[in-house]
Structure 1
């Protein structure tokens, strides 16, 4: 039936198995308004070689994570020069993040979370500046010198599914990283919905452009994942390009019902390093 996919978005959530390791490779981004993403090829190669099992949530004393790949999702407390800003991970202390992604990142408003993924290093401004050619202002980093810092290979806005639904306008055509619980859609290939625990309305956000035969096994019902990609206005062209296996009638019915919500065209899907509560 044409409305089968849409109505499935409202069914009660189920539990699912854990997704195996798949390539992380978060996309770099140019914000706030450009849709053409610029990539530094060397950095991109480094990111592609990082698997989800090698990335962990940063918490507690960052000194214990020196040399490790970590992911932090939180709001930004302050900017430091053109390439740095401070985040506070859950159960942790504020930590400096250096944007070494190879792309400009415009900091969002105070209430919009950011996801940063990179290696924890003991900050030596001269060494990092030389390696990544960032043009860092040494005088601004005096208080952070020789302290743990995240040298970020990937940065993205990180709204919750609920916030993305309530205020989609601020995210359209931007690279985002959204975490949630998977709900598979019947008779649909290369797509699923993500939800957030505690979301009263329980209305999902649709994710398209997903290869279901990802390394490590197919995406499972009920597992927690992070999706990185671009939030788009849903239209027939986006859905047809995603190869969902829908005919024209099903696409038309879906668009008539799925209003005021974005569709995420995915770059990557990987297990949530930060478990959703």
Structure 2
């Protein structure tokens, strides 16, 4: 039987109205400045939509933004488009220095972080050391584009919990509502609105200030996005995470936390989707 003092009261998620993946597909956020320990991490965020990037480029030009969206077609080896509700796709250029494989699933969002710019092929090639296929980018010249310095698959919390195999050892960005864990160090749990579940997804590696803001600023029930790597849950990983659990607690936890990944976090950001009323 699990130790009720450290598991059950903390890993229970009441259900609410489903915000849905559609909200993710059209929303972006401007990355915030540093927060103080008594601020919520979402303080100071500015939500915009991909339509704003396409139609009101001047308001975000030169800004570093994070976009979570469904993707359309690839453009050569280093580009792809993100969909918008108004059918005005946004060009994304992969300037991360590593190959990024677009998801095979049409309903799988991708998260991109980078600067918004008016696309000029020659300038982008020179500044970022890229060799783009000129003929494929003719229609994108002088159009808004995101020059991505970070790209990640962006499954929902429920999708990650249900089918983690395709994400193990890959960089991911997962949105969810925070549940803090008592008698546990350096960790939190993520849940999702409308997901009937009493365990959630465990996030470890939050013992220090991470990219995007201080973990001390994260509030119970806050809607956040966690970036990091999906790992298989095992005793070695949990011991290395310095959770403050002894061997018995780790064994009890693993007996319940089956076929689910653990996210080893490297960043925590305010989500572009606000929690449901009452959260």
* 8 Å Cα contact 1:13/1:222 also seen in 2: no
- Can you list the C-alpha shifts for 1:237-267, whole angstroms capped at 9, x where unaligned? 1101111011111001000110011010111
After the TM superposition, which of the residue ranges 68-77 and 208-217 deviates more from structure 2? 208-217
2:82 corresponds in structure 1 to: 87
* In 1, Cα distance between equivalents of 2:141 and 2:103: 25
- 2:112 is paired with a residue of what secondary structure? strand
Number of residue pairs aligned between Structure 1 and Structure 2: 245
* In 1, Cα distance between equivalents of 2:235 and 2:87: 44
* In 1, Cα distance between equivalents of 2:259 and 2:185: 23
Tell me the TM-score normalised to structure 1 length.
0.80
- Can you list the C-alpha shifts for 1:105-141, whole angstroms capped at 9, x where unaligned? 1111122210011111000001001111111111100
* In 1, Cα distance between equivalents of 2:242 and 2:136: 49
Indicate yes or no: 2:47 matched with 1:59. no
- Which one of 96, 107, 113 corresponds to residue 101 of structure 1? 96
* In 2, Cα distance between equivalents of 1:91 and 1:249: 54
- Can you list the C-alpha shifts for 1:76-120, whole angstroms capped at 9, x where unaligned? 110000000000246773100001112211111122210011111
1:207 corresponds in structure 2 to: 203
Q: What does 1:217-228 align with in structure 2 at a 5 Å threshold?
A: 217-228=216-227
* Consecutive unaligned residues in structure 1, runs of 5 or more: 15-19, 24-50
- 1:149 is paired with a residue of what secondary structure? strand
Indicate yes or no: 2:138 matched with 1:142. yes
1:47 corresponds in structure 2 to: none
After the TM superposition, which of the residue ranges 146-155 and 89-98 deviates more from structure 2? 89-98
- Can you list the C-alpha shifts for 1:18-61, whole angstroms capped at 9, x where unaligned? xx8549xxxxxxxxxxxxxxxxxxxxxxxxxxx99577544323
Provide runs of 4+ in structure 1 moved above 6 Å.
none
* Consecutive unaligned residues in structure 2, runs of 5 or more: 17-31, 36-41
Kindly state the Cα deviation for residue 276 of structure 1 after the two structures are TM-superposed: 5.4
How big is the alpha-carbon RMSD for the aligned residues of Structure 1 and Structure 2? Answer: 2.5
> Taking structure 1 as reference, are residues 240 and 55 closer, same or farther at Cα in structure 2, changes over 3 Å only?
farther
> Taking structure 1 as reference, are residues 271 and 229 closer, same or farther at Cα in structure 2, changes over 3 Å only?
same
* 8 Å Cα contact 1:212/1:218 also seen in 2: no
After the TM superposition, which of the residue ranges 247-256 and 54-63 deviates more from structure 2? 54-63
* In 2, Cα distance between equivalents of 1:231 and 1:59: 27
Indicate yes or no: 2:168 matched with 1:172. yes
> Taking structure 1 as reference, are residues 90 and 229 closer, same or farther at Cα in structure 2, changes over 3 Å only?
farther
2:239 corresponds in structure 1 to: 240
After the TM superposition, which of the residue ranges 267-276 and 128-137 deviates more from structure 2? 267-276
> Taking structure 1 as reference, are residues 11 and 158 closer, same or farther at Cα in structure 2, changes over 3 Å only?
closer
* In 2, Cα distance between equivalents of 1:52 and 1:158: 23
After the TM superposition, which of the residue ranges 239-248 and 108-117 deviates more from structure 2? 108-117
* 8 Å Cα contact 1:21/1:52 also seen in 2: no
